[in-house]
Amino acid sequence: MKPKVLRSWCRQILKGLHFLHTRTPPIVHRDLKCDNIFITGPTGSVKIGDLGLATLMRTSFAKSVIGTPEFMAPEMYEEHYDESVDVYAFGMCMLEMATSEYPYSECQNAAQIYRKVTSGIKPASFDKVTDPEIKDIIEACIRQNKSERLSIRDLLNHAFFGEDTGVRVELAEEDRGTQDCLALRIWVEDPKKLKGKHKDNEAIEFSYDLENDSAEEVALEMVRYRFNLGQSS
């Protein structure tokens, strides 16, 4: 699966989980897996389905061992868990999408999966993830200790899952933490937003004064200098 597609689908899954987890009381899916994620229509809209095992978090934790072993966080076997089990399951979903391989497919039965999960042994497919950023995100989701996992909010704020605006900003020079002014570089990656002003592989460098500048002022200055970030006509 292409990283762009993986990013889009996972971002939508995270938004769905964020919706469930921010209800009052929060809703824990408890059986999130790729089999329960549906791609609808030509737009590629992602929907989370099969809420049959979902539960309302009326207390600080839930009980009962329930779910699909390959996607169950270790604390589910201890019957003392919260919304972070959905983060763990999301990590396993992302692993399956990145490798096209079901997690723990090397195991012959649920007992073998249980022993590996409760011992903190990752699926064999984890080592097949080639993109280091994707691998880091998956690892941060499937940590054995739930307190060490990223939250859904953390994941939504992660740069990897940022909305694709067609514009990328990066540091032109290393920030040593002592400068009042940063040298930045902006790349327009979407040819539709270039309008013939700049080449596809050309970056625009500019300075940003942390004390005196604002994002709005810098954007207006770029427009004045004929750097057009609008949609093509």
- Which residues are annotated as catalytic? 50
Does residue 134 contact residue 6 with C-beta atoms inside 8 Å?
A: yes
- The answer to whether 37 touches 114, Cβ cutoff 8 Å, is no
Cα separation, 48 vs 31, in Å, equals 10
104 token code pair: 């723990």
Cis peptide before 74 (omega within 30 of 0): no
How many residues belong to the chain?
233
- Going across the sheet that includes 167-171, the strands are 167-171, 181-188, 203-209
**185 close to 170: Cβ distance less than 8 angstroms:** yes
